[in-house]
Structure 1
Amino acid sequence: MVAGGARTGESEKISAWRPDVKGVTEVFHAHFTRHAYPMHVHDTWTLLIVDEGAVRYDLDRHEHGTPLGTVSLLPPQVPHNGSAATPHGFRKRVLYLEASSGGPLDASFIGAAVDSPDLVDPLLRNRISRLHACLARPGDELEAAARLALVGERLRERLRPRLADVPRPGPDRRVAGALRELLDARVVEGVELSEAAGLVHAHPAHLVRSFGAAYGIAPHQYLMARRVDRARRLLLDGLSPGEVAAECGFYDQSHLARHFKRVVGVPPGRYARGL
């Protein structure tokens, strides 16, 4: 992860980083009271949620707004601006998403996004918010990729409503079983969701859904549970938590501690001291 944060004024703050998740080029969090964006363009999709206040902006010569609860999707290469719609400014979270075939949305959705950039969709907003929280945690890239796949699926449904009338393919136990075998074979090194989808010949969103339906657990939860199980054995063998984190594929010791406590109920250090 490449991270950065800065204060632009007494009450204006930003934080930006590049996560190690395919399809996301940048994460940007900001609190602005006075800044107004001039007309500009991005070569990526801009997926925006506002947590406080509201933003007004012009897109394709039409005025739009982002009241609380709205999801705004601004397409690549279409000029837009932005400014606070309230005296107290706004606080926002933004994901910049690849506009290529490797991202959640390709160029075929640009026209629909220009026509309807603001989506009132509580489910989509919740998924985006949870994705932001996950992207801020190094080591949870598989979970972030799975959440991004579901966000992309929902966006495609909203931009092409007729797709909502087409039944989704049901859970596929063959696909789920293939992914489980792959995760079991790569407990320590892990696997990217895009690579897994290619190996088992399934769309990432279908892969995530099939695994959850078959085993009652998300792929990233399954992988972390396998790593925690391995960590328990190594702690019993006398290794330190720092050594165990490296041996089991965790990002660092704090990453191990968070997942270990979630599964076992106590931090790894306390678990080891109880021997």
Structure 2
Amino acid sequence: MKFSIFLLFSGLVLSPVSAIVKTNIDESRIIAECLKSYGGLTEENAQRLVRFKEWSEDYEEIPCFSKCYLKNMFDIYDDAVGFKEEQVTRQFGQVLYNACRHRMAPLPNKCVEAYHGFNCLVNLEDDPFVLIESMANVSTQAKMVMRDCLHLFDQYQWERMKEYKKKPVREPIPCFTKCFIHRLKVYHQQKLQWNIPALRTHLGVPKAEANIQHCFALRRNGDICAWMYQEFTCFGLAST
């Protein structure tokens, strides 16, 4: 799940003030309420919200905004109990909750406590290693291999991991798929043949009874990274 506050940030306009927020009515109302003690949705506060998304490690641009926003928008935080594990897990998954548990630890200052947790959830939501660990129907061995393969690429490319779930035509990190496919030995290079049972065991594709014959008809060119990604993606998209 994505924090809808990013929809707010992406729609910020500094002038006119009446056009500052382009988001859903409920969120607009909640944000206005959380900014009430700071004068509401003004141009100045719009600029502060833009700075807010820079996510300073410990400094909250608008003090106590996170506590108010999380409590009223998502119901994942409460002054008495702190972060609600069940609600956080339901909305963001167990892996992300576990990764941020240390940043959700109780603190005397509840505003700081809420901001620390909010900061972590937002910053790690698209963390490539969290994304890998969160992959459904992927074996533990496959996740380990993917992590190892990712380390072979420059870190500036890691942020592209989030694009894989969209299954784009071109591979977001060229040759990443080839790396884990070869290491898992789910494709026999000499026979030019996929090991379908092993694919299902380690990577959860293709689904049982899925029609994948058209995947084998894809044109293979000299770029093994490209066609291997395309065929692997085709297996995942194939319907039964």
TM-score by length of 1: 0.27
Which has the greater radius of gyration? 2
TM-score by length of 2: 0.30
Higher strand share: 1
Higher helix share: 2
